Amino acid sequence: MTSVPVKVINSVLSGLGRFSLMVAEVVRSLTTQRLSGRDLLDQLYFIGVKSQTVVLVTGAFTGMVLCAQTYFQFHKVKMDSATLAVVSVSMCGELGPVLTALMVAGRVGASMAAELGTMRVTEQIDALRTLATHPIDYLVVPRVVATMIAVPLLTAESITIGILAAYLVGVHLLQIDPGYSIVNMQRFTDHRDVLMGFIKAIIFGGIIATTGCYKGMHCGQGAEGVGHATTEAVVYASIAILMSNFFLTLLLTRLLALT
């Protein structure tokens, strides 16, 4: 009889192995197979265009609340005009990419796991294979590429709308001086902050799509299996985004300091 901890370790390691093999197959497909433009556009529309509302609302309200909280603290030490600079730096390097990725993970990652999981349990993935089509080429690669393109664009949108909303709240509601605020914002927000946000967003896009596709392609049987896969896709992607964000911040800060 195998003990429970050994079974859990076996399960985790075999899962990591399968995930690594899938990622390796995605890279192989990208370098050896031709990507269908139509499949990519379909996914870009679903992931990018259809995620606009949720990303815009998240970006706007995050910028607004960050502006208000920062102002309340800075006002005590007469640093009102630095409020928007804090919002700008935070939105570009941390909150913009992380919150956008978490929202996309909830919407798109779950959808990928559910769609591919349903295809698996209804033998549609086996049917693809009998039709001489590699499931990675047809199902996974367009989703991974589209997510890695869409998430940075959505992040840029979220950052822009967040800073704009913060400006409106700061200048029109909290009466911060607009001239000094803009000067400080430009002074403290470096191109490295923007670059860091974009690099993070590309990596987060990869995490969301590979996790969603992996969970769907390896889901259990029946409706219960698809349900579990969907939940796990969102939970694992969210945890991976939050954990990798910390390490990416440390790594990118050092790397970008060299530029």
Partner 1 sequence: MIEIRQLRKRFRDQQVLDGVDLTIENGESLVIIGRSGGGKSVLLKHIVGLTHPDSGEVLVNGQDIAHLNERELLGVRRKFGMLFQSAALFDSLTVEENIAFVLARERNHTPEEIARRVAEALDMVEMPGIQKKKPAELSGGMRKRVGLARAIIYRPEVVFYDEPTTGLDPVVSDSIDKLIVRVCERLKVTTVVITHDMRSMQTVGRRVAMLHQGRIYATGSPQELMAATDPVISRFVRGISDEKVHTF
Contacts of residue 104, Cβ cutoff 8 Å, sequence gap at least 6: 47, 51, 55, 147, 150, 151, 154, 204, 205, 208
Amino acid at 93: G
Among 6, 10, 126, 242, binds partner 1 (CB under 8 A): 126
Q: Are 225 and 117 in contact (CB under 8 A)?
A: yes
- Using the rule CB under 8 A, which residue among 3, 130, 221, 259 binds partner 1? 130
User: Of 11, 133, 231, 253, which lies in the binding site for partner 1, with binding defined by CB under 8 A?
Assistant: 133
Site string for partner 1, 161-180 (x = CB under 8 A): --------------------
* Cα distance between residue 185 and residue 120, in whole Å: 50
- Mark out the alpha helices in 4-51 (DSSP H runs): 4-32, 37-47
Q: Does 218 help bind partner 1 (rule: CB under 8 A)?
A: no
CB 256 within 8 A of CB 196: yes
Which of residues 33 and 52 has its CB atom nearest to partner 1 in the complex? 33
If binding is defined by CB under 8 A, does position 124 make contact with partner 1?
yes
Instruction: Give the Cα separation of 207 and 19 in Å (integer).
Output: 11
134 interacts with partner 1 by CB under 8 A: yes
Binder among 24, 127, 239, 251 for partner 1 (CB under 8 A)? 127
Cβ proximity of 204 and 97 under 8 Å = yes
Kindly state whether residue 1 participates in binding partner 1, applying the rule CB under 8 A. Answer: no
Q: From the CB of residue 10, how many other CB atoms can be counted at a distance below 10 Å?
A: 11
Question: In whole angstroms, how close is the CB of 149 to partner 1 at the nearest point?
Answer: 21
Three-class SS state of 63: helix
Give the nearer residue to partner 1 in terms of CB position, either 38 or 254. Answer: 38
129 binding partner 1? (CB under 8 A): yes
- By CB under 8 A, which span of 62-70, 124-132, 165-173, 250-258 interacts with partner 1? 124-132
Instruction: Tell me which residues touch partner 1 (CB under 8 A).
Output: 36, 118-119, 122-124, 126-127, 129-134, 138
